[in-house]
Structure 1
Amino acid sequence: MSLALVTIADRPDLATIIGAWTWNAWGRAQGETLEERIARVAARTARIGLEQCVVALIDGEPAATASLVAEDTETRRDLSPWLASVYVEPRFRGVGLAPVLVTAVEMAAWRAGFPRVWLFTDGQVGLYASLGWVEHGVLHDHGKPFVLMRRDHRR
């Protein structure tokens, strides 16, 4: 099994599949169209800074994704940037892709000079805590409570 990380900037052809994955996971519930989600993913082409989308390929096949974005919730526009849309295709779960992608997005944030990155989750607090993220309260997004977490860059 070979693992490679690419970005949407490197592989714009992957925007359609990543857009579909993340729309099915979250976008549909937020009232976003599939086309809008694909366009948002396709626009995450920064080489440094905001916005970026990282894709894990296993043996050349898309397996997982995560993004560095300016905004991930309307309720906390005062916070930026965000680790967003961490998604692993079901058949690739359990092999350690999420930590690899989270680290890749953190490194992208640190390279861009951001001192802190934010995320929110409703079911993966343990995963993120094991990677050095700390709880920072609760936020509500689309009427649902989530745990707000942050990761500070340690130089």
Structure 2
Amino acid sequence: MKIVNLQDRRDLVPAIAAAHVQAFGTLLPDWTVAQAVAELQAQQRDAIPCSWLAMDAGDWSGSVSLLHDDHEQIRGWSPWLASLYVKPEARGCGVGAALVEHAIAQAAVFGVPELYLYCEAPRVAWYRTLGWRVHAQLQLGPLAITVMAVETGHR
């Protein structure tokens, strides 16, 4: 597995956008694939917002993003690790953990001292194994979420 910047594989943007809308669309019911494509195309290489892909045998197996804002109802913290997605056939193989570690390291390179994410209760324990801690618990639309935080090592 190799992790590459999305800017190096812009040809994959439509497929990634479709996967993101399918996976995360319940939080943003009016979000369309066209909007997701536009958001991914507007990302940068060496600054937030940006995304990376896990590549294996020439195809992408997962993605992760760093965003300034991840949801309009939780603007109090920034930046966010967002859109961690691993294709079903690649789950359980370390792809997600590798993408999270890569995003944390890149956040440190960008000068970010602390990074946030939000998830539902079943994912909290997994993120804790990667060094994240519970920061807050909130209601986000229909979902009860946990905001988690991690120090990137940047001082």
* Length-normalised TM-score, structure 1: 0.92
Which residue of structure 1 aligns with residue 126 of structure 2?
Answer: 127
Q: Which residue number corresponds to residue 89 of structure 1?
A: 87
Unaligned regions of 5+ residues in structure 1, if any?
none
Residues 115 and 50 of structure 1, relative CA distance in 2, 3 Å threshold? same
Q: Which residue of 2 aligns with 1:23?
A: 21
> 2:152 corresponds to which residue?
153
Q: Is the 8 A contact 1:8 1:42 kept in 2?
A: no
- 1:48 is displaced (CA, Å) by 2.2
Which residue does 1:51 correspond to in 2?
49
Given that 2:105 and 2:152 are in contact with CA atoms closer than 8 Å, whether structure 1 keeps it comes out as no
Partner of 2:39: 40
SS at match of 1:80: coil
Distance 1:131 1:95 in 2: 15
Could you tell me which residue of structure 2 aligns to residue 140 of structure 1?
139
Q: CA deviation at 1:140?
A: 2.3
Deviation at 1:60, TM superposition (A): 1.0
What is the CA distance between 1:28 and its match in structure 2?
5.4
Residues 136 and 148 in structure 1, CA contact (< 8 A), matched pair in contact too: yes
Distance 1:77 1:53, change over 3 A: same
- CA deviations 1:2-34 (Å, max 9, x no partner) are x11111111111111110110001125511111
CA distance in structure 1 between the aligned counterparts of 2:107 and 2:153, rounded to whole angstroms: 12
Residues in 2 aligned to 1:28 and 1:18: alpha-carbon distance in whole angstroms:
17
CA distance in 2, matches of 1:7, 1:120: 23
State whether structure 2 residue 101 is matched by structure 1 residue 106. no
Q: Report if the CA contact (8 A) 2:108-2:153 is conserved.
A: no
In 2, Cα distance between equivalents of 1:91 and 1:140: 31
2:77 to 76, 79, 90: 79
- Percentage of matched positions with identical amino acids: 30
* Separation in 1, partners of 2:79, 2:123: 19
Please give the secondary structure, in 1, of the residue aligned with 2:61: strand
- TM superposition score normalised by structure 2: 0.92
RMSD: 1.3
